[in-house]
Structures are given as structure tokens and as C-alpha cells.
Structure 1
Amino acid sequence: MTFDDEITQIVRAEHGRVVAQLIRRLGDIDLAEDAVAEALITALEKWPVDGIPPNPGAWLTTTAGNKAIDRIRREGKRDAKHQEALMIEDDTPHEPTGPVEDDRLRLIFTCCHPALAPENRIALTLRLLGGLTVGEIAAAFLVPETTMGQRITRSKQKIKAANIPYRVPAEEDLVERLGGVLSVLYLIFNEGYLSSGPAMRVDLAEEAIRLTRQLTTLIENPEVDGLLALMLLTEARRPARVSDGVLVTLEKQDRAQWDSALIDEGHTLVRRCLTANRPGPFQIQAAINAVHTDALDASMTDWSQIVKLYDQLVILTPSPIVELNRAVAVAELDGPEVALAIVDRLELTGYHPFHVTRAELLRRLDRTDEARAAYDAALGLAENEAEQAHLTGRRDSLTR
């Protein structure tokens, strides 16, 4: 039997013994073992599909030779490839990250540079890192979008002109920049919580909570705990906040849907803040939310305690928005007429919750036409679809 006949028989055979014969026979040819093995594997893959070539022995010998040449070429290039890899490898030590290990939190600290005005550094950070649009930031600061755009542009120009370095914050920078960082995280959370419908930004709220948790491990400060508590107690109400695309106000929410685990964690943090006895704005807002979430039913809410907490907040951070929120609590304690007198003194005509509050107070006073006009004013400013649906329903339910 010729060598080609033997190979043909071997390829057609199914037993490992015959395959071994072929390997031994090829071993007699003066070629590298690996090349022979590769040629055999190629034959076993191709021949059943393409058919056995007319001269199998020559085919195997040629293929094995080609495989051997390819291997020699690869080996010849290996050292050069290794040298190239060594040349592009950068063994320069990594830039130290400082005390803040989380990348995004570190960037927020870095951007909250003290050389910028507080409102400008917050706005710039929200734009660059918070994922908020100029319009969303402007709404948070109660200024026109064009004004906010100019602020952000001027901040960038100041950084460039003054060569302000965006260096990684050191240990001593953390306390100095903490206030700005907390404000940024709070506004990011609010944007995520207050959104609804197709554009719901739950991811923003979750990310703000995650970063604030990170912050509690870096800095022992009751305001950090207060902010985390405020976020948790607010987020706990999300499941009951919207029903069938319509906003459900706090007093009408199904409290069984609230997240009890988040409420328990938030209350624990509020108690820890009370023990520290260093009140701050976020701690007081968290305490207000703790009073709300402690009530099993809206009728059981301790409004006197809430008014007292707002009195403290007015002293710490006097603003028309705090006064507006306080007026809502005063209405429950002293009646809508007293509350409306407070609200009508405030200059918040571009703020839609101002008109919502007026509408509800006027409704309770049976001043229907004025209430309808206030609802219309609120609808003209509200951008949240769920809130628009709620306000439309409230306005349309007014009796003439």
C-alpha cells in the first residue's frame, strides 16, 4: 500500500488507533512535531468537507512545512512585540486620589472650588457632573435660564483666566468645601425625586443617596447625617407619590406603600443628629420629614412640632421658600386665613408651589374664582406631568 493509500484509509477510519498510526508516520518526516500536529488537525477539519486531495501525503507534507514556517516567523517577531509592549507600558505611579476614593464624589469636591462664588460653584458642578440641564439648574435657583447660562459661562471663564487648578482635594479641603458638596447632592436628589413620567430620573436620586452614604464614612458631621436622613425619608414616600400618572399629595398618600426600612434608617439618623445637638438646615428638614413619616395617618400629624421646626429653619436659613413651607404648616395649626396672610407677603410669583399653596388656601376659604386663577398660574409654571394632571383635576373640581 502506498503512503497516499494509507493516509486515505486513516482519514476514513474512526478509531484512535489508526489516527495514531498517521501521527507516527508523519513523525518520520523531518518537520517540527507541532507543525505536523497542526497539519493533521487541518486535514481532519477540511478533508471530510472538501474531500481527500489526490496526493494526501504531499498535501500533509506541504501543509506541515507551511505551518512550521509560520511558527518560525511568529517566534522571530515575539521579542520585537515584547519590546514594543515594554515601550508603551507606563510605569508612572498613579496620581494619589486623596481621602476621597469614589471618583464622582472626588470630582464634586474638586469642582466646588472656594475661589468661585458659592452659587456659581454649585451651578457649575451640577452642570458638569450632576447631569442637569441649564434649565433644570435655573429652576432650582429660581432664576431665568439665560441668567443661569451666563453664570456658568462666567465661572468657566474665571477658572481659565485665573488659572484656578482643579486639584484633587486634600484632607483639609473637605470641611471647607463640604457646604457646597452637600448643596450639590441635595439638588441632584431633588431633580431625581421631583421628576415623573417618561423623563423620571430615579437614577439621580439613587446616585445622590449613594454618594451621601459615602460622605458619611469620610466626615463625621451631623449635617451629612441630616442630609442622608432627609433623602431617605423623602425617597421612602416615592412608591405612593404618583398613581395612574397623577401626583398624590402627602396627606392623601397610602402610607402602607411607604418604604418602612428607609423610614427606620432615616429616623435613626435623625435621633443621632439630635444627640449631637449641632442643628443645621438639613437636620431640621430631616426632622420635619421624620414628624410626617411618624404619623400613621395624616390626621395624626403633629403640626405644632412642625411649625416649631420651621421657626428654627427660618432663623438658620431665612428665605421666602422656607416661609412658604412654614405657611403650609401654619394653615393646619392656625387656619388658612392666617397662612394666606403670610403667603401673600412673599415675592415668589415665578415659583409654581407659591401659586399651588395660594390656590389651596383660597379654596379652603371658598374664594373660588381666585383659587381657579391661582391654579391656572401654577399650571403655567409646572413642568412635571404628574403635577400638571393633579392641578388640572383640583382646578376642575372647584364648584362655581
Structure 2
Amino acid sequence: MDPERTGLAGGDRPALSAAAMSDHTGRDAVAAVWRIESARIVGALARYTGDFALAEDLAQEAFAEALVTWPRDGVPGNPAGWLLTVGRRRAIDAFRRRSARDERYAALAHDLGEGGLAAGNASADPVRAAEDVLWDPDRIDDDVLASMFLCCHPVLSREARVALTLRVVGGLTSDEIAKAFLIPTATVQARITRAKKTLAAARVPFAVPTAAERAERTGTVLSVVYLIFTEGSSATSGDDLIRLDLAGEARRLARVLTRLVPDEAEAFGLLALLELTAARFPSRTGPDGEPVLLEHQDRRRWDRSAIRRGRAALTRAQRIGRGLGAYGVQAAIAECHAVATSVDATNWERIVLLYEVLGRLAPSPVVDLNRAVAVSMAHGPAAALPIVDELTAAGTLSHSHLLPSVRGELLLRLGRTGQARAELERALRLCGNTREQTVLRRKLADLD
């Protein structure tokens, strides 16, 4: 089960106690606390300083100081509180340096006869202004929510949103993010740096969006979490079919989001989709990591706890929403698989209808391709092939191995072996994941 975030103080959020940390010392303790509490620490410091980029730097400085202090002096009784205190002290030091610098600038301007240059700045006491900010534990969840919406702000590119969300809200290091997406660490660091500069240049405030703004931008937040999970559940490249750490982080972020926006039906729809999909992870790969197709999976190995959580989240989405959204519909499709005892016992007719609904809510060639697979299971490959042929003619999935892979399967079931071979060979050339390549090679070998 993925670790849930614990609160810093107040309400029903239990604090991370010294007893809970008894098994961790030194660096391990620092890493554990950071992973659990980093989003709240960065968010609280951002509210305290009014500067998101500075807050992230301050949190990192507190983290670095803990790496030196805790192994030497022992883990403090309130580790998260210790990090917050250090971060606040570093903020005050930064404000003091800034105040002294502004005073020097003002004196220089006065000498140059430009006394109005820094008017209004030198007289302000940033240290006192910072200390006047109330430390309200009840606002901690708001800080995390503000962080999520800031990291997923529309001014940022999709890649920057993902990197910043995993760094600030997920607590992952640049190395961990780079490893998850198989890109250089320097690339991740550059994306995060550019993202913070972009937010600063756009003067995006650190605050929970208004109700209207939240409604407009929630979809962006959900899409980032979904994107993280998608890469984790079906890796586009590399040697592993599933990246459990990345998929698990997305599930945890989805759970956090449902607590922060409990009236958002699609947040629960997304959580349901992620839980129901992840429930099949234990049987999706064999002993050596090779993919196991749905019809060959041992359904006894499916995670029944995840299925129960997913179905409960789907029920919640249905209860608070006016009909299911795109994520909720996908969760309903996943539920059809989760409750079926076998491929043959699956309600494929319902799945076809749900894909038709999804095609109206969120039209995309991938949705049409999945609908074609469902149609082939419900009505046979001949009924599905025209759908796939239309997608081939449109060329929208020309760089994806999924389309020729599905078309090859349909042609094979229709006895058109030569054409099936050509499609499977094309799928193999386009596929970037070594595990999926193994499956395609095996299919081609079976044709021989």
C-alpha cells in the first residue's frame, strides 16, 4: 500500500512521531521525512515568503542541513517541524540580506541624486513582515493544493508540469524523475529551473485558485497525474513494462487530490481508474518481467484491495457528479474487467457502449482503437477491422506501435497471415519498450 502523507499538526492529520521514525536514522530518516512532508513544507514556506522559487530553495537548504545534523545529533522528535523551522530561519536570513542590499541601493541612489529609486522598499522591515504571517496548521492542506495548481499552471509546458509536480508535490529528486522517464538528470533540472523562472516572470501568485479558476484548471492537474500514471503503467521505452514507483506516486497524488477537492467528481473518477488499473499489475508480467496478455493473466493475483478502493471511488464520483466524466467512464470500463471472472465472461457489449460515450466526452484515436478492440471481442474481428482501417487511413497514430499491433491481431484472427505479419513487423519497428518487443517477436515466430 502506498504511504499516505501525514499532517504537520492539527485536525485528524497525525503527526509523524519520533516513535514512527525509530527504525530510521540519519540519512534514511531525512529521506523518509522529505518524501512524506516535502509538499507541505514547500507550500507552507511559499505562503510564508510569498515566493515559490525561494520556498523550494529554502526547503532544499533545510533538507541539506538535516543530512548533516540528524546523523550527528539524532532524529528530532518532530522532524517535519524541525525542517520548517530551519526553512523559516533561512527565509529570515534571506530577507535580512535583501533588506541590507536595498538599503545599500537606496544610499547609492541618494548619492547619485535619485533618492526616489528605492522609495517604499528600504523603509519596509521584511523580517517583521514575515514574522507577522500567522502559522496556521489548518491551512496546510490549502498550501498543498496551491502547490499542485501552481505546478500545473497553464503557462508551463506539459513536461515542465510533470517534472515540477513530481519534484515539489511528490518529493522526488531530480535523479528519481530522470530515472523514471529515462532522461538525463540535467534535463530534469533544466525543466524545473525554467518552470520556476516562467512562473516568476508571469507573476503567478502562490494561492489556492478561486472557485472559477479552479474549475478551469482542475483538468490540467488531473491530466498531469494521469500522464504520470500512464507512463508508469505502460512504459513507452526501457526494459520494464511497468514502473511501479512512478505509477504508485501517481496513485498517491490522486488520493491527495481527492482530499483537497472532495467535491470534484473527476478527481474520484481518476483515482478509481488508477486503482482499478493498478489492481491488475501483479499478473501483468511474468517471472522474468515479460508481459502477460489479459486472456492469460491469473485473475486470482489481482489486487482485491485496490479493486475495492477503485469501486468505492467510482461510486463516490457517481454520487457527487452529474454523470461520469472522461476519467470516470474509463474507470467504469476498468471495473468491467475487474469484476469479470474471465475474458469470455467480460461484458464486452457494455465496454463498447462505454467507449462510445468516452469518444464523445474525450475524442481521440486511442479511444477509437480501444473501442475497436472491444468491438472485436463483442462482435468479431471483421466488425472491428473497418474502425482500425479508418485510423490507419487518417494517419494520426502513424508513429505508434499500438495501431499496427492491433491491426495485425485482427488480420491474424481473420486468417490473413501475410498481412498480419507485415503489421506485426511494423509494430516491432515502432515499439520502444524491450518487453513489448519480446511479445511481438514471439508472435512473429509463432507465424513461422
Write the letter of the residue equivalent to 1:355.
P
Write the letter of the residue equivalent to 2:398.
T
Of 378-387 and 281-290, more deviation after overlay is shown by: 378-387
1:112–1:97 distance in 2 versus 1, CA, 3 Å: farther
Equivalent in the alignment of 2:444? 395
Match of 1:167 among 194, 201, 206: 206
Instruction: Report the secondary structure of 1:349's partner residue.
Output: coil
Q: Does 1:272 align with 2:321?
A: no
Equivalent in the alignment of 1:301? 346
1:106–1:394 distance in 2 versus 1, CA, 3 Å: farther
Match of 2:386 among 332, 341, 346: 341
Equivalent in the alignment of 1:246? 290
Write the letter of the residue equivalent to 2:158.
I
8 A contact 2:143–2:207 mirrored in 1: no
C-alpha distance in structure 2 between counterparts of 1:364 and 1:322, whole Å = 22
Equivalent in the alignment of 1:363? 412
Equivalent in the alignment of 2:245? 203
8 A contact 1:99–1:170 mirrored in 2: no
8 A contact 1:359–1:371 mirrored in 2: yes
C-alpha distance in structure 2 between counterparts of 1:97 and 1:363, whole Å = 61
1:231 CA drift (Å): 0.3
Q: Does 1:376 align with 2:412?
A: no
1:163 CA drift (Å): 3.0
1:373 CA drift (Å): 1.5
8 A contact 1:122–1:180 mirrored in 2: no
1:307–1:175 distance in 2 versus 1, CA, 3 Å: same
Cα-to-partner distance string for 1:193-227 (whole Å, 9 max, x where unaligned): 22374585311111111111111112112111110
1:266 CA drift (Å): 1.0
Q: Does 1:287 align with 2:332?
A: yes
1:98–1:159 distance in 2 versus 1, CA, 3 Å: farther
8 A contact 1:352–1:381 mirrored in 2: yes
Equivalent in the alignment of 2:275? 232
**TM-score normalized with structure 1 length:** 0.66
> 1:94-173 maps to which residues of 2 (within 5 A)?
101=141, 106-114=146-154, 116=155, 121-130=157-166, 163-172=202-211, 173=213
Q: Does 1:217 align with 2:259?
A: yes
1:303 CA drift (Å): 0.5
C-alpha distance in structure 2 between counterparts of 1:95 and 1:345, whole Å = 59
C-alpha distance in structure 1 between counterparts of 2:145 and 2:280, whole Å = 26
User: Structure 1 stretches of 5 or more lacking a match?
Assistant: 1-84, 139-150
8 A contact 2:146–2:209 mirrored in 1: no
Cα-to-partner distance string for 1:29-71 (whole Å, 9 max, x where unaligned): xxxxxxxxxxxxxxxxxxxxxxxxxxxxxxxxxxxxxxxxxxx
C-alpha distance in structure 2 between counterparts of 1:183 and 1:134, whole Å = 21
User: Structure 2 stretches of 5 or more lacking a match?
Assistant: 1-88, 97-126, 167-175, 184-190
Cα-to-partner distance string for 1:238-289 (whole Å, 9 max, x where unaligned): 0000102211111211100100111112122223333344221000000000
C-alpha distance in structure 1 between counterparts of 2:259 and 2:163, whole Å = 26
1:165 CA drift (Å): 2.2
C-alpha distance in structure 2 between counterparts of 1:200 and 1:103, whole Å = 32
1:175–1:97 distance in 2 versus 1, CA, 3 Å: farther
Write the letter of the residue equivalent to 1:272.
R
8 A contact 2:233–2:241 mirrored in 1: no
Write the letter of the residue equivalent to 2:438.
A
1:307 CA drift (Å): 0.5
1:384 CA drift (Å): 1.9
C-alpha distance in structure 1 between counterparts of 2:195 and 2:278, whole Å = 32
Write the letter of the residue equivalent to 1:262.
A
1:199–1:357 distance in 2 versus 1, CA, 3 Å: closer
1:166 CA drift (Å): 5.0
Cα-to-partner distance string for 1:128-148 (whole Å, 9 max, x where unaligned): 33476699699xxxxxxxxxx
Instruction: Report the secondary structure of 1:271's partner residue.
Output: helix
Q: Does 1:178 align with 2:218?
A: yes
1:106 CA drift (Å): 4.2
**Cα RMSD (Å):** 3.5
1:102 CA drift (Å): 8.1
8 A contact 1:236–1:260 mirrored in 2: yes
> 1:63-78 maps to which residues of 2 (within 5 A)?
none
Instruction: Report the secondary structure of 1:397's partner residue.
Output: helix
Q: Does 1:310 align with 2:355?
A: yes
> 1:50-89 maps to which residues of 2 (within 5 A)?
none
Q: Does 1:188 align with 2:228?
A: yes
**TM-score normalized with structure 2 length:** 0.59
1:224–1:374 distance in 2 versus 1, CA, 3 Å: same
C-alpha distance in structure 2 between counterparts of 1:135 and 1:212, whole Å = 18
8 A contact 1:192–1:200 mirrored in 2: yes
Cα-to-partner distance string for 1:111-169 (whole Å, 9 max, x where unaligned): 3224x3xxx6433201333476699699xxxxxxxxxxxx9999888657x63425233
Sequence identity of aligned pairs in percent? 40
Query: Paired residues, what number?
Result: 299
